[in-house]
Structure 1
Amino acid sequence: MRAFFIANRSSQDYVWLQRKPLAPFLVNMIVRRSRLIYDFDDALYTRQSTHVGKLKDKHPGSPAYISRINHLLGKSSLVFGGSNALCDYARRYASSKSVFLVPTSLERPASVEPSFRIPGQVTVGWIGSTGNLPYLRLIDEAVHDVQKRIPHIRFSVMSGKPPNGLKGKWEFVPWSPETELQWLESIDIGVMPLKDDEWSRGKCALKLLQYMSQGKPVIASAVGENLTVVDEGYTGFLAYSMADWIVAFEKLVTDIRLRCDMGAAGGQRFMSMYERSVVQSKLAEMVRNG
């Protein structure tokens, strides 16, 4: 079906392919007629951090998948990577002049009521897919420690299901498109723990941008694109160890002025660098000049 569709398309200036790599013969068909743009936001050339078991050909990190990615990169006229790590990988196979960093972008959020706020509590929040819930284990000791010593701290998770097997207590809020903004507005601090591996280093820090778009200070593992998105000590804290997580929780939970100042700085950084219209304008210029 894909081959039929491609074969029967008239020549276009560009064909824009996002994320999933096509088979080499399909890529070759495209580039005979048009210039190809490849846009990706995950480290598809390596195993996912949470993947367990044998890799099948359809899984990122398998030899077949890597072969497709590398062929596609080599044939692309423009490559847009969502993180510095992805761009560094792309430059191994594509001309360095054709590879550009295009960060994840979000629309300016609407003003909403914080439906999930609890008076007198400082809420630390994590949002993500169920497949990423295991990352919460990386900060479990820190969460458990501060919960024992700081009575007004609360941890909330918005996902498809609650985390399990943790010592720290997380209050679960089911994700829905209707309530996501209300939940983001209700938290006081946003967190993004990551494992320091090749898959995580390719991530594009979407969670941090979601928090910052709502003017929330952040705490993040000092891994990959987190190092670029977080302005250490200004919009939030980068954690290199469990002790760093504990110190960051303590500072932000006990100092409302610090939370407000960091949240405001993060909101400004989001609007100047990651708001959708800003990124789209830069992206259009890249295509025009490409």
Structure 2
Amino acid sequence: MNIAGFTNNTGSAQWRLQGPANYINARTKNQYFVASSNYWNEEAWMPEIDLVVAQMWRNPKGVDFAHSKGVPVVFDADDIILGLGNDREELMDLNEKHKKQTIETYEKVDVITVTTEALAEHYRQYNDNVVVLPNYMDYMWWGEPLKIKNHGQLRIGWMGSKSHKADLEFIAPVMKRVMKEFDFVKFIFCGFGGKSGIYGKDIFKDIPPAKREYYPGVNLEYWPYKSKTLGLDIGIAPLVDDGFNAGKSAIKYYEYSANGVPGVYSDTIVYRDTVKHGVTGFLAKTPDDWYKYLEKLIVDTQVRKIIRRDAFQDVFDNYNLEDHYKKWVSLYERTCRDSKH
């Protein structure tokens, strides 16, 4: 197969397209080319293409064009785009024309692939052929942990994008309390929420400047190294329990664990079936839960060490893309074989 993948230019492109492509290209005779959706060009169509994979596309005419060439189209989604509710609509910023184009795309594609069963349930209202392909850690991309000595300072960190605004607003009072209680602890955050700007306010402004460090995000190819150089001792992954977040997957757990960082995670559907509470991390519901488990990781170095070890091994053994990339190969081969175009 010759597969042409078009990404949505976000970090999820690595998890959904580029990661599987790395293994498909390295381990099989198939070829998987990945580019930004900005490079979709019907005039430059290559007749060798057997399959198009489009991430979070809004292009029904593009689907029609591929079908006219006898090529099936897979739509990949790792978020809910429509039906987010008033509190979340601004994340996708779609007008009525865009919403119509999005639905038409859903309906026209041959297969929709998603990360979780919760997302599958959402997308089945538009297309009967929805397949769950979970996220897995691509160690070709991520590499090994770095050993960084923090010399008496303990660093608790978070990293992510603007879609987590509500999550950060929830956790901000907890982090303020932790920073006030422990003199040797510092809060590290990378990406969204660290300063006032076009995306909103400085969510952590109540934490004294001397007790926090903010770092902007970096391009995708540099992200594994950047995440490691933050030097985190503990990671946090707060998620408000709502419909939008129900479609998320446990990427933060994979990233923290692959870096050798023990974490506290929201006790929601996203992490509940992945993180083993008290073994590979802690699951927290209330602000008091969050404080309790952060305090435990702060004061008990042995617990930190054990969870760091067990979480790292859990992700490597059970969520390693090298052991699962054939799921993509099988689906893509079946889609090409069953295509009616």
Scaled by the length of structure 2, the TM-score of the pair is 0.70
Q: Distance in 1 between matches of 2:203 and 2:332?
A: 47
Q: Given that residues 45 and 65 in structure 1 are in contact (C-alpha distance below 8 angstroms), is that contact kept between their aligned partners in structure 2? A: no
Give yes or no for contact 1:191–1:208 (8 Å, CA) kept in 2: no
Confirm or deny: 8 A CA contact 2:144 2:259 kept in the other structure.
no
> AA paired with 2:182?
I
CA gap of 1:118–1:91, structure 2 versus 1, over 3 A, is same
Q: 1:31 aligns with which of 67, 71, 74?
A: 67
2:117 aligns with one of 59, 72, 84:
84
Kindly report which structure 2 residues correspond to 1:88-237, keeping only aligned pairs within 5 A, or say none. Answer: 88-96=121-129, 98-107=130-139, 109-111=142-144, 113-115=146-148, 117-129=149-161, 132=164, 135-159=167-191, 162-163=194-195, 164-166=202-204, 167-168=206-207, 169-176=211-218, 177=222, 179-184=225-230, 186-237=231-282
Cα displacement (A) at 1:126:
0.8
SS state at 1:127 partner: strand
Aligned residues with identical type, % of pairs: 23
Judging changes above 3 Å, is the alpha-carbon distance between structure 1 residues 112 and 264 closer, same or farther for their aligned structure 2 residues? closer
1-structure distance, mates of 2:85, 2:317: 31
Q: Distance in 2 between matches of 1:49 and 1:268?
A: 40
What TM-score comes out, normalization by structure 1 length? 0.81
Q: How much has 1:150 moved relative to structure 2?
A: 2.6
Q: Please say if 1:59 is aligned against 2:93.
A: yes
Tell me which of 309, 317, 340 is aligned to 1:264: 309
CA distance change for structure 1 residues 221 and 48 in 2, over 3 Å: closer, same or farther?
Answer: farther
CA offset digits 1:53-91 (Å, max 9, x no partner):
6x9xx725x544443333323333222112332222122
SS of residue in 2 equivalent to 1:229: coil
Aligned counterparts of 1:262 and 1:100: Cα–Cα separation in 2: 29
Aligned residues: 282
